[in-house]
Structure 1
Amino acid sequence: MAFLDIDALVGLFPGQGGYRKGALASFWDEGDPVLRGVLAEIDEVALRVLGTDIGSQIFGPAAAIPEGPELFQLAVYTVSVATYELLRVREVEFGLLVGHSMGEFAALVAGGALTVAQGAEMLCHRIAATAGTSGGMLSLSCDVRRVEQILDLAAEPHVVVAVVNGRSQVVVSGPEQGLARIGAVADALGLPAVRLPAPAPFHNDLMSGVRTEVVKRLGRVRCAPTRTPVYSPILGRCYRGDDDLVDILGMHLVTPVRFDTTITRLHEAGARVFMEVGAGRTLTGLVKAAHPQVVILPALTEPAAVDTEDTDEPVDVPSPQPSTTDEEVMAQLRAIYAAALDYPEDVLTADAHLEAELGVDSVKRIQLLGRVGRHFGLEPSAVNGIADHETLGDIAGQVIASLEASGGR
């Protein structure tokens, strides 16, 4: 990779988990013409290919978390593309664009290789082709060598390393039974494991049939050369003018993502300034964790898009007592999460969705579960037992059940 100017801004486009409820809502409420124009293009494609739109689900008075992980992906794409367009009219210029997994669709649109409609069409056909696929993805809080040892120990040949985000977060994908076995091994080793809201075992040879169907559906899309370089963590290089995007984006389904290596290569090439083009700060958090001296710039500041740094400072909350009541457990959980996320406690209602509404991505969820486990004195198996729960109320219920089972209340 050619050396980057130290002042060049690198735009990072999030993947599967990169949506937050309320993202860009203020622009929608104000009738921003850029956002409305992007939504019109995407909704036209979504209605034609999927039989539903995305705009009415994530904007307006009926806005909610999109139904199903498939439309969650379209919401991620919509927010990223719209954010980029809003930045562009504000004359924000990028020296390099990087997409994480399905975030490459939005990055290629921002880079000029695809139009908004073309990117939406490719993603919608991928979503349609994935429908009915079994399996999923599991995030493990350890390094890739440890994960490979776990895979060898579990002897599940169809579970593979799908994504390496950094030294302490690796995602595996595979069939349901295999993921359950990996989760059990991680549990026995005391390693937090979180099931991700992915509708299929992405970045795995199990997706070969879907890859064939995607390529068949898309045929040959005529794309333009990128006006801004787009680096692919899957290809390990920038896209070139002679690349067959249909074939490459189909190949993504069966090829692992090495975001950790990407971060290293970008830093070695001189990248020092980063911005996450979408909701949240998951990717910039990974960059900052690897290279604390880099500069992270916010994209579009909105109250609903607030995220937090990944810190692990002690939380000042009351110590649990043997007679802890249900209300006290919930109060202590709210205090832990409020202090870690820098949210007022009244925002942390029992039914608030941690990821989609509060911006707690899988990395942060693992960190917070560790705090919860230490605070309440839970065994690792009990901590892993609450890893898949999406609301504070559900987590409180599991903590209470664990305390009762261990005689801790």
Structure 2
Amino acid sequence: MRKLAFVFPGQGSQEVGMGKAMYDAYPSVKQLFDQADEALGYSLTTLMFEGPSEELTKTENAQPALLLNSVAMNEVLKEHGVRPSMTAGHSLGEYSALVASGALEPIEAVKLVHTRGKLMEEAYPTGKGTMAAVLGLSQEEIASELEGFDGELAVDLANINCPGQIVISGTKAGVEQASEKLSEAGAKRVLPLNVSGPFHSRLMKPASEDFANHLSGVVVEKADVPVYANVTASPVQEADDIEKLLVEQLYSPVRFQQILEAFVEEEVDAIVEIGHGKVLSGLVRKVKRRMKTVNVSDPESLESFIQWTKEES
């Protein structure tokens, strides 16, 4: 039995047309998509397959769409007896990881992230908050430069993705000033991100409080296999711990580099990215170039991966 770590992408990986090939190829995927449409009260499937892109990109649509796409692929893998030894996801992707680990039911998770997306959109005035990717500086260097960025200039570390790639988040004015300061401090590039809010920053605390109230009405089970939490980069399985960390995740940095380093320490046979795009596979290579990575994003890559798992280790 191969030791596999499943990782799931987050917001930004969405694209019109994603999931269509899976929907056409597997009856179980079609059934799951149909159930999601019914649960949400609108056709997420049509939005995923036909767009328009600007509607799909809205946080309240992108989040359930990406989760549904990833979870559908995981369900097919489960049908073939392919299960992970551990899971993780990038921000939103953590919910897909929780489904794969048995802590959340698929349709419950779709509804949950739809609500999460709406709360995140509403948490801070549109256009007043933003994020930027900082290339070429360490976490410690960036944290040092961000000291004193508070109040109307509040800026925090948001995503610690891999060596030399860290995302900051905060007020628009704060991120703009911080970007100039970080460039002067030696950053190779500071790239503004096309996002609608200051996600994973202290400015998301109001959303976390509303989300905690909503989450209290959702059934979260003990995970069958460890989920490496964004907030701590440590394995978690108990339901109470999972709920607490999901609330904290909204305003805390995503420690994805540390999660990948933990998977390397666990000596997994492969880190498998399940969902649309190859963003996480690229991060894995920057953390550990020789680590085997597999990308499962369509029926062909899924069937190839299933075949590989059946071969002798």
The interval holding the TM-score normalised by the smaller chain is 0.7 to 0.9
Name the residue aligned to 1:398: none
Q: Supply the distance in 1 between the matched residues of 2:281 and 2:32 (Cα, whole angstroms).
A: 25
**Cα distance, 1:263 vs structure 2:** 1.5
Shift of 1:187: 4.8
Which residue in 2 is equivalent to 1:360?
Answer: none
Instruction: Give how far 1:66 is off.
Output: 5.1
- Change in Cα spacing, 1:20 to 1:302, as seen in structure 2 (3 Å) is farther
Q: 1:111 to 1:304 in 2, by over 3 A?
A: closer
Structure 1 partner of 2:219: 222
Q: Distance in 2 between matches of 1:27 and 1:72?
A: 18
Alpha-carbon offset, residue 111 of structure 1: 0.9
Change (3 A) 1:300 1:76: closer
After superposition, the Cα gap between the structure-2 partners of 1:249 and 1:297, relative to the gap in structure 1 and judged at 3 Å, is: same
2:258 matched residue in structure 1: 261
Residue in structure 2 matched with residue 65 of structure 1 by the alignment: 53
**Residue deviations 1:234-257 (CA, integer Å, cap 9, x gap):** 233222224254433111111111
Are 2:108 and 1:118 aligned? Answer: yes
Give the match for residue 146 of structure 1.
141
Q: Please give the secondary structure, in 1, of the residue aligned with 2:6.
A: strand
- Partners of 1:209 and 1:154 in 2: CA distance: 19
State the secondary structure of the residue aligned to 1:220. coil
Shift of 1:186: 4.2
> What is residue 315 of structure 1 aligned with on the other side?
none
Determine helix, strand or coil for the equivalent of 1:137. Answer: strand
- Paired residue for 2:29? 35
Judged with a 3 Å threshold, the aligned counterparts in structure 2 of structure 1 residues 136 and 43 are, in CA distance, closer, same or farther, namely farther
Unaligned runs of 5+ in 1: 306-409
Matched position secondary structure for 1:260 = helix
Residue 118 of structure 1, CA deviation: 1.4
User: Could you tell me whether the CA contact under 8 Å between 1:107 and 1:230 is conserved in 2?
Assistant: yes
Q: Judge conservation of contact 2:233–2:256 (CA < 8 Å) in 1.
A: no
Q: Which residue of 2 aligns with 1:198?
A: 195
Residue 212 of structure 1 deviates from its aligned partner by: 0.8
Structure 1 residues 165 and 152: CA distance shift in structure 2, 3 A:
same
1:8/1:80 Cα in 2 relative to 1: closer, same or farther (>3 Å)?
A: same
User: Where does residue 16 of structure 1 map in the other structure?
Assistant: 11
2:175 is matched by which residue type in structure 1? L
In the TM superposition, residue 154 of structure 1 has moved relative to its aligned partner by: 6.7
Residues 245-324 of structure 1 correspond to what in structure 2 (within 5 A)? 245-301=242-298
Residue 242 to residue 56, structure 1, CA distance change in 2 (3 Å): closer
| Residues in 2 aligned to 1:245 and 1:121: alpha-carbon distance in whole angstroms | 17
CA positional deviation for 1:100:
1.3
Amino acid at match of 2:229: S
Residues 1:161 and 1:300: Cα distance change in structure 2 (over 3 Å): closer
Report the residue type matching 1:9 in the other structure: L
Contact 2:272/2:295 (8 A) holds in 1: yes
* Inter-CA distance 194–38: structure 2 relative to 1 (3 Å threshold): farther
**1:373-400 CA-partner distances (Å, limit 9, x unpaired):** xxxxxxxxxxxxxxxxxxxxxxxxxxxx
CA deviation string 1:318-353 (max 9, x = no partner): xxxxxxxxxxxxxxxxxxxxxxxxxxxxxxxxxxxx
RMSD (CA atoms):
2.6
Deviation at 1:64, TM superposition (A): 4.1
What is the SS of the residue equivalent to 1:275?
strand
Structure 2 residue 154 is the aligned partner of structure 1 residue 158: yes
Which residue does 1:314 correspond to in 2?
Answer: none
1:383-402 superposed matches below 5 A: none
Q: Structure 2 residue aligned with 1:26, among 21, 29, 38?
A: 21
Aligned counterparts of 2:54 and 2:102: Cα–Cα separation in 1? 28
Distance 1:88 1:222, change over 3 A: same
Query: Alignment length, in residue pairs?
Result: 293
Q: 1:338 maps to what in 2?
A: none
SS of residue in 1 equivalent to 2:196: coil
Which residue in 2 is equivalent to 1:174? 170
Q: CA deviation at 1:302?
A: 5.9
Query: Which deviates more, 216-225 or 289-298?
Result: 216-225
Deviations 1:191-245 (A, max 9, x none): 3222223332122121111111111233332222222322213233222224254
Question: 1:212 matched to which residue of 2?
Answer: 209
Instruction: Indicate the SS of the match to 2:74.
Output: helix
Q: Distance in 2 between matches of 1:42 and 1:233?
A: 26
* Contact 2:19-2:48 at 8 Å conserved across structures: no
How far the C-alpha of 1:29 sits from its partner, in A, is 3.6
Q: Is the 8 A contact 2:22 2:298 kept in 1?
A: no
Structure 2 contact 281–295 (Cα < 8 Å) conserved:
no
Contact 1:101–1:234 under 8 Å retained in 2: no
1:153 positional shift: 8.2
Gaps in structure 2 of 5+ consecutive residues:
303-313
